[in-house]
Structure 1
Amino acid sequence: MKKFMRENLKFICFALIILAGSFIAGTNTKKAGAATRKCYTINTSNTRVYSNTALTRGYGWIYATDEIKVITVTGKYSKVTYPIAKNRTKTGYIATNRILTATGGSTYKSNGRFNTYRRNGGKYYGYVAKNDNVMILGTKGNYTQIKYPVSGGYKYAFALSSDVENNLKSKQQSTVSQNPQIQQPSAPNGNVQQNIYNLAVASVGTAGRFYQKWYGASYLTPYCVIYADYIARTAMANAGYSNSKINSIVPKYASTSLWAKDYNALGRYHSFASWYNSGTGVSMNKNSTVNDYTPNVGDFAAIDNDEDITPDHTGIVIAVNGNSLTMAEGNTGIGTNATRKVKIYTYYKSSSYWYRSDFKRAHIMGFANPAY
């Protein structure tokens, strides 16, 4: 009996040792998941951390010298782990725009090595190696924010825009799907503008029914204006704008002439011709010339496709390159209002209008410049 008890006692002690070892090891072992993403905050001021995704319950602070780990990213908030003491960390939520200029972008393969920095004009943070796949996010001053691979994951960092241009964009095409008829336009500045570009490029080839449903319109409704609205409003939402601010900057429209009328009343519509739309009763006076106004990413364009000096179509500007610009347009090509696809076109500057070389009847009558 004593022998039996001794044997059982040995077994219990052995099991406890194994269990304790597993517990100790477990405290230093991370659950497998997405690759680690490290970065510093964009600004040198302290960043408020919250305990909830609504960012209403203060929880702590991240300092400019803290390197943080990014767990999840959304347009409004990001879940991060940050240091609070030696060998101690805490997890909470911060506004995404405290660490990122954009939540996504185009990816390029690097053709050379170049340095990265914690923030624009900040301390050295590492380097991008030749053949690394690098995602370009947004720009800040003379620097461009990128996401690049490092051992065990990725870093969000800044690089000189000249290095990005020379090592990533030069003589290359991004891996983002695009219309083969056009060249990849340069990435624009600004968080909302970058979001507009990313969303528009990703939407190429999608059909009208998606946007009609989003708006609450029937499958018979032309959706070119609705598409431009969707891209602009979603880009602002991803940048953290409130619904009230989005509604005040880009209300929902389904009519080209009506948005032109409203932006004109705000002094934000630049008309290259006088025109009248009998269907809506909207008239517009010429108040600008092509040389008076330089389009911006996110501008709405009023387009005349049948040479009757009245706009009947809308596009949204996603890139501007001197005397040419790139436009994303819904409801183009053959089919119905529900089945026609989103496409990207290039327009060129003339003495009176911007026009498409592949369809010279298409003239831009004017641009609205929302106050993003």
Structure 2
Amino acid sequence: MPPSRALPALLRTVLRSTNPSLSFHHHHQTRLLSAYGYEQAKVLGLTSLGEPKDVLKLHSHSISPPHGDALTLRFLASPINPADINQIQGVYPTKPTFTTTLGTAEPLAVGGNEGVAEVIAKGGNVKGVEKGDWVIMRKQGFGTWRTHAQTTMDDLVVIKDREGLKPEQVGTVSVNPMTAYRMLKDFVTMKEGDWFIQNGANSGVGRAAIQLGRLWGLKSINIVRKRDSRMEELKQELQGLGADVVVTDDEVESKGFRDQVKEITNGGREDIRLGLNCVGGSIVNSMAKQLASGGHIVTYGAMSKKPVSLPTGLLIFKDIHFDGFWVSRWSEKHPVEKEACVKEVLDLTRQGKFKDVPMDAVKWEYRTKQEELVKAVQGTLEGYRSGKGIFVFGET
């Protein structure tokens, strides 16, 4: 190296050793690879609540080598769920976790609650996980829209067997499939041949319920929003997953629906015991009317933002129960069952018996710009996606 270039190179080395988060720009931006064991992390975070496009910013910080109980993670895939967006807007029951540990002047929260990461380094006291293992988050509020993180085993569930699985499949297992699984199991004792009815049937939870129901011998009536294009295609897609009947919301609210249901359920001899609701509004009453005495409507979302109004006659004379389900609360109360549930769904995925939802991958690399990431989140809100938005991490 010529003497004139040796000094800047030496200076850079010294500066890096004292401040590993410094990166140096030549003609193009280069990724400063974990200088002295430090990881350069980027997070998509917020310092105040509001619309994603207004509050989300890309922030860089460095992570020191892990000691003691700490381990360092590199994220592989993190979905963009509606609840993540509601949290950013401040309209969700749990608020994002704000912290000053990421090197910002004001407290910052990292977006995202679900995802899968790989362990890339661990402190001397860490047991039960090895470098290269995949992990998912134990509960909500971790902040998964980031390239790297440092945490302890308290926050994580290790995916013991990831053979034959893609990061996108593992990264989306703990919210939608879990919600469908628990709602089908925990409210009504369903036996083979029983029916359930659900709205939002082409959502992530809806598709999971169709498939799990089919595997357990249950039959399903699936309600989707009427659309001008691709209606037939959507029906075939859901039937391909195991849907017995696919109808539109208009059909369900029409006068002839009761007769249609009678025909479907063997002259009304087969009971519809359970209804799953993520829409709200008048459609819920139309569903509740089809239930057998003592049936349950379980609400897990409110996409129409309209309330569920309860017809008194159904409560008194048919003893219809109206329940709510929130997967975050269930997961926190039942960590052991959650792990078993995750394992079961991943086993089914591996065997080809459970298909993940159509996904619209957003690549997140070291050079990915803030605008691209924010647009992906905002786009989910505006319904522009052809599938579930998910950050898939490349070279970070």
The structure whose residues are more often strand, as a share, is: 1
Report which of the two has the higher share of helix.
Answer: 2
Highest relative contact order (Cα 8 Å, sep 6+), 1 or 2?
2
TM over 0.5: no
Give TM class, smaller chain: under 0.3
Per the normalisation by structure 1, the TM-score is 0.27
Greater gyration radius: 1
With the length of structure 2 as denominator, give the TM-score of the two structures: 0.26
